[in-house]
Structure 1
Amino acid sequence: MGDFNDIRCPSEKIGRNPQLRWLMEGFNSAIESSGLSDVEIRGHKYTWDRDRGTQHWVKECLDRVLVSQSWLNLFEQAMVESVVTLVSDHLPIFMKPIPTSRHRRRAKFRFENLWIKEANCRMLVVESWSASRGASLISRLDSCSKALWDWGRKLTRDFQPNIDFCLKQMDAFINRSYHARHACLL
């Protein structure tokens, strides 16, 4: 995982001179002969840029995660995302290795602190606690945790579309900013 300072195909570069074919072929050959493969990066595809805001702006996919088939068998659901930053010419990449589950275990309840910020959280706890009035403390806690768990799973399912929407807005803002600055230079 990291900055390989090379690209695998012409579509991984925008701007300036095209990458030399023999360099791409050599990089691909090294990857293939090592038995490695790319893990797809979600988010911004181009993880490096130079001369942003000028007519010489170039963007490339230099950062990547390469894995073996045996690693991929252990972490089939692994996710890699680029993280937007304005302080570097590289976008950091974040990898979340999600182990492949061979058998399904019942997940433990975990209270997520971000739920406190949700308007419905308090109401859900009060309703669940009130509905189990007269039951033992353990039964009431079980009832409340189940209600929170079900509600929280639905809530977090909606996060990825919101994250994708925000990334698109940030990308649009960066492009508008570039075009505004570029127009001032003319």
Structure 2
Amino acid sequence: MSGHQFTRERGGGMEGWIEERLDKVLATTGWSDMNGGAWIENILTRTSDHSTLFLNINATTLHRGRGSRGFRFKMAWLHDEGCRDVVETVWQDGMTEGLLNYQQHCGSRLMRWGGEHFHKFGDRMKQLQKKQEVLRDRRDQVALAEFQRLEGLLCQLEA
């Protein structure tokens, strides 16, 4: 599993902040042998006290660590008409190649479009999230107050 070591938290940024490893992934030996490149990513979520566990069984198209990253849809894109235009254009261009190829083509086009339109927005959110990540292991008053301040800024950006 990659990502944060805990899968649930309560009272984030508060004095009684608790983090736990509650959510797990179970696989048989046979399944693991058939899916040797599979891995789990623990994705911290801002709207739930549980993180999202993402099972990647197609390790050849998505890469861990540095380098290219797989497609991730950004909800902020829904607030921009350009997103609909990209999807409709790809839909009209790619349906003869099958749904899987269409989905991959649409994802790459959306990533290119989204990177151009929301690059600075995403960079600012990443900066704030990295600062929060540094504070996760600290429970002193200064760190908790800073975590809450960063949380407020992230909420503003999300809105």
Q: Under TM normalisation by the shorter chain, which class is it?
A: 0.3 to 0.5
Question: TM-score normalised to the size of structure 1?
Answer: 0.38
Of structures 1 and 2, the larger Rg is shown by: 1
Question: TM-score normalised to the size of structure 2?
Answer: 0.43
Higher relative contact order by CA 8 Å / sep ≥ 6: 1 or 2? 2
More helix, by proportion: 2
